[in-house]
Amino acid sequence: MKRRIQLRVLFLIGGLITLLFVVLIGRLYWVQVVKADFWLGNAEQYWAASEKLVAKRGELTDRNGDVLAMDGKSYTVAVSPEQLDKLGIVDKVSIKLAQLLGMSETSMKQIATARNPDKGNALYAQREVRPKGWKIDKELGDKIEAFKKELSDVTGSVDVGIYLMNETKRYYPKNTMAAQLLGYVDKEGKANYGLESFFDTMLRGEDGYRKYQKDGNRIQLDGGSVDYKPAHDGKNVMLTIDSEIQNYVEQAIQKAYDKYSPKSITAIAVDPNTMEILGMANLPSANPNYYWTQDAAGFYNHATRSLYEPGSTFKIVTLAGAVQEGIFNPNATYMSGSIRVADRTIRDIKRGGWGPITYLEGLKRSSNVAFVHLGYEGLGEDKLRSYITNFGFGAKTGVELPGELVGSIKFHYASEIATATFGQGVSVTPIQQVAAVSAVANGGKLMKPLIVKQVEDPVTGKIEVRKPEVVRQVISPETSRKVSEYLEQVVSDQEIGTGKNAYIEGYRVAGKTGTAQKWDNTANGGKGDWSDDKFVVSFIGFAPVGNPKILVYVVIDEPNDKYVGGGAAAAPVFKEIVQQSLRRMGIKPQLTAAEEAANKKEEAGEDKKAPTIEVPDLNGLSAITAKSKLQGNGMQFVVVGNGKNVEQQIPRAGSVVPTTQRVYLITEKRDKLTVPDLKGLSLRDAMEVSTLLGMKTVTEGEGYVVSQTMAKLKGERVLKLVLKPQSNDNSESSGSGKAPDGSTAAAGGG
């Protein structure tokens, strides 16, 4: 009986085991055969890993390659509440990081003590400090790194619970320069305003990825499948902007902005022959590096996105049409003061006028009556409208900047036609005005404004060069020449010319002032009327006449002095920009016989001492920028060394030196330098160079260095300098700028 029971138990157990095997085999069949694709897919998902390959955003540079916008290194700050608590430094870290990041201690402590509700309310292992600690600059990151080291020394722990994660963010090396042109990219990667927005797709490039299979330790499996798409970096865009001319523009309008406190001020500088934009600036401005603290108005580009009544600068269009049609006779006379058109009396700025005057005098004095005769009576509505349209008004210029407006050129009634001849009742953008007057300056060709010089694909190396584009011929070259000469007299006539404040000695300057009343919708009981105290004043001009290299337009919206006109407020801004820019371009003044005689007299020692100039501060600037600045001031220079940035300058910033003296830009450390040409330097400056080079120096004579030689004194190599008192003959200081061995010193002059 007992044996029978044992056999039954064995059969039962065997049956159960057999059943289990059958079930197991069935399950294996189900998983590995029937549902094989399903489980393989799940396994592949588990094995799969992917990495996003972020494309580098393209750079924006000026025409000389000077960087205006680039991707820069940054950090995101994170803390470990768990580690901070373990080390007992929560309060200390919260206080210090709050101070460094500019946030409240309460907010910082909340992050430093944050708990994870999904893990039993345990302290987080890591939390990012946002928004204040998100994508911070390297300078701030270095301060946090120093704080970490301090904590590490105190606690004896390598991990102090503070982490700096490598990031990139958009960086604008020149801060506020060209802010409205550039726009900015925020920390989330969104492009806002300006060229950053307009060319976002081109600059952004295309992100790539890498997908592969991994094991449980996240190590890539040998023989596993790999899917790879490389990132395609964004294209680099070289602008037509010249950073130095942009700087001249911004400095000049800042002075006017400080003086007149206008609603806004805008200036555009272009090459009228190509319509390449050399400088474009507005005030108020902003710093794109700190966009979150800036007023949006600082990024608004009035050059393309604001409409103004141009006032008398628009008379250039009427004048060009009248000259082209043979209507303008500079010597013919008319009665100034007022003229009746239909039911309206149109007056000159001077009530009563100047009596009977010539049309050329009317142009110089900016007489409205003269242009009613020329445009309304002479050209007539159809031809006037045709010239206005052909000069590009009422249509976009096509400049590659966001938000360009069209403007309004609408006139139907007699009085509207008459006032349009001198720029009242029409609305235009500054860039339209610049394109139109450039056509007058360059021989009659209306051209599309250019802001991009070339586009480079860093992946393929392909470069796309943007070429000047002629829209149409508006007037003949002969008409262009005549109109330019007439406009030159508006500036050169220092008695009656409204543009006399734009006169630059030694250069032929043409230009026209503008003063326009603004329309006030609240005036006249809400019906609207022309304002008595709100004006837009402007000046537009170009130089040199006959071979123009630069055209500048300055618009000041609502200056605080209602009596100041374009000639008083805007013309000096124009003059400062053009004078510095012409020097930068190496265009020397053409002096009159009297001026040349005075200069020769001065050189002969019969006049006052030679002119001097204050040396600007160049330390820390790139060598390219420093050279441009000196050229703009008409100063000679010598670059010593092959470095990229100015380590030291001689003479020092603020020194007052003869205009013939060279400035030495030291770009490398002492041990890498060779001795440059010191001829023309004072003994003090020559000794400063020698000391910098660690070179023992002996001198002979007094005054300024006229020669230098390498010699030996008691077996030691020394530099011997021969000096003589300065004379009026500057030939001694006009050296080539080469080092004695002809190697590392590069010279230049302006």
Domains of the chain: 59-204 (3.30.70.2110), 305-584 (3.40.710.10), 612-748 (3.30.10.20)
On whether the CB atoms of residues 446 and 395 are closer than 8 A, the answer is no
On whether the CB atoms of residues 741 and 674 are closer than 8 A, the answer is yes
The mean pLDDT value of the chain amounts to 85
User: Residue 194: in which H helix or E strand, if any?
Assistant: helix 194-198
Residue 734 has, within 13 A of its CA and on its CB side, a CA count of: 5
Kindly indicate the confidence band of residue 73, based on its pLDDT and cuts at 50, 70 and 90.
Answer: confident
What average pLDDT does this structure show over 1-18?
Answer: 78
Starting at the edge strand found earlier in the chain, the sheet holding 529-543 runs: 276-283, 264-271, 550-557, 529-543, 510-520
pLDDT (tens digit per residue) in 597-625 = 655 555 455 444 556 787 888 888 888 88
- Check pLDDT > 60 for residue 732: no
Closest CA to 490 of 530, 415, 542: 542
Kindly indicate the confidence band of residue 667, based on its pLDDT and cuts at 50, 70 and 90.
Answer: confident
Tokens coding 205: 């490039």
On whether the CB atoms of residues 438 and 316 are closer than 8 A, the answer is no
What average pLDDT does this structure show over 652-675?
Answer: 75
Closest CA to 446 of 431, 456, 455, 435: 435
Kindly indicate the confidence band of residue 735, based on its pLDDT and cuts at 50, 70 and 90.
Answer: very low
Kindly indicate the confidence band of residue 354, based on its pLDDT and cuts at 50, 70 and 90.
Answer: very high
What average pLDDT does this structure show over 261-288?
Answer: 97
Which pLDDT value is given to residue 250?
A: 96
Residues 6+ apart with CB under 8 A from 443: 477, 480, 481
Closest CA to 173 of 644, 691, 672, 556: 644
- Check pLDDT > 50 for residue 385: yes
pLDDT (tens digit per residue) in 238-272 = 999 999 999 999 999 999 999 999 999 999 999 99
Is residue 309 packed enough to be buried (19+ CB in 10 Å), middle (13-18) or exposed (0-12)?
Answer: buried
Which pLDDT value is given to residue 197?
A: 96
Could you give the maximum distance between any two Cα atoms of the chain, in Å? 150
CA torsion sign for 380, 416, 447, 551 is: positive
Q: Report d(CA 747, CA 410) in Å as an integer.
A: 56
> For the ranges 59-63, 308-312, 347-351, 471-475, which has the lowest average pLDDT?
347-351
Q: What is the DSSP letter of 609?
A: P
Characterise 96 by phi-psi region: left (phi > 0), alpha (psi -120 to 50), beta (else).
Answer: alpha
On whether the CB atoms of residues 703 and 668 are closer than 8 A, the answer is no
Tokens coding 481: 């020449």
Which pLDDT value is given to residue 729?
A: 40
**CB 457: neighbour CB atoms within 10 A?**
17
- Tokens 């260095």 appear where? 705
Closest CA to 196 of 396, 295, 58: 58
On whether the CB atoms of residues 381 and 389 are closer than 8 A, the answer is no
- Check pLDDT > 60 for residue 734: no
On whether the CB atoms of residues 543 and 509 are closer than 8 A, the answer is yes
Is residue 749 packed enough to be buried (19+ CB in 10 Å), middle (13-18) or exposed (0-12)?
Answer: middle
Does the model's pTM come out above 0.75? no
Is residue 322 packed enough to be buried (19+ CB in 10 Å), middle (13-18) or exposed (0-12)?
Answer: buried
pLDDT (tens digit per residue) in 39-52 = 556 655 555 556 66
On whether the CB atoms of residues 57 and 207 are closer than 8 A, the answer is no
Task: Report the DSSP beta bridge partners of residue 276.
Answer: 271, 450
Tokens coding 254: 């800042």
Characterise 72 by phi-psi region: left (phi > 0), alpha (psi -120 to 50), beta (else).
Answer: beta
Backbone angles phi, psi at 639, to 5 degrees: -90, 120
- Check pLDDT > 80 for residue 670: no
Q: Report d(CA 157, CA 566) in Å as an integer.
A: 69
Backbone angles phi, psi at 488, to 5 degrees: -60, -35
On whether the CB atoms of residues 647 and 623 are closer than 8 A, the answer is no
Q: Report d(CA 421, CA 312) in Å as an integer.
A: 9
Closest CA to 170 of 157, 185, 160, 181: 185
Among 23-37, 136-150, 618-632, name the most confident range.
Answer: 136-150
Which pLDDT value is given to residue 714?
A: 57
- Check pLDDT > 50 for residue 749: no
What average pLDDT does this structure show over 96-107?
Answer: 92
Q: Which of 197, 243, 264, 312 is catalytic?
A: 312
- Tokens 């618009």 appear where? 555
SS3 680: coil
On whether the CB atoms of residues 450 and 277 are closer than 8 A, the answer is yes
Is residue 180 packed enough to be buried (19+ CB in 10 Å), middle (13-18) or exposed (0-12)?
Answer: buried
- Check pLDDT > 90 for residue 358: yes
On whether the CB atoms of residues 177 and 246 are closer than 8 A, the answer is yes
Q: How far apart are the first and last CA of the chain?
A: 124
Q: What is the DSSP letter of 608?
A: S
Which pLDDT value is given to residue 739?
A: 34
**CB 672: neighbour CB atoms within 10 A?**
11
Q: Report d(CA 631, CA 201) in Å as an integer.
A: 37
Task: Report the DSSP beta bridge partners of residue 206.
Answer: 232
Which pLDDT value is given to residue 55?
A: 84
**CB 98: neighbour CB atoms within 10 A?**
20
Q: Report d(CA 588, CA 342) in Å as an integer.
A: 51
Task: Report the DSSP beta bridge partners of residue 128.
Answer: 78
Residue 312 appears among annotated catalytic residues = yes
Which pLDDT value is given to residue 488?
A: 96
What average pLDDT does this structure show over 659-664?
Answer: 76
Q: Report d(CA 552, CA 685) in Å as an integer.
A: 39
Which pLDDT value is given to residue 215?
A: 55
Q: Report d(CA 649, CA 615) in Å as an integer.
A: 10
On whether the CB atoms of residues 361 and 496 are closer than 8 A, the answer is yes
- Tokens 């909340």 appear where? 110
**CB 1: neighbour CB atoms within 10 A?**
5
> For the ranges 243-252, 519-528, 589-598, which has the lowest average pLDDT?
589-598
Closest CA to 633 of 661, 610, 652: 661
- Check pLDDT > 80 for residue 181: yes
C-alpha distance from residue 162 to each of 101, 121, 129, 152, 474 (Å): 13, 21, 10, 10, 67
On whether the CB atoms of residues 309 and 424 are closer than 8 A, the answer is yes
- Check pLDDT > 70 for residue 514: yes
> For the ranges 459-463, 510-514, 644-648, 745-749, which has the lowest average pLDDT?
745-749
What average pLDDT does this structure show over 313-329?
Answer: 97
Kindly indicate the confidence band of residue 98, based on its pLDDT and cuts at 50, 70 and 90.
Answer: very high
> For the ranges 454-463, 590-599, 637-646, which has the lowest average pLDDT?
590-599
Which pLDDT value is given to residue 706?
A: 84
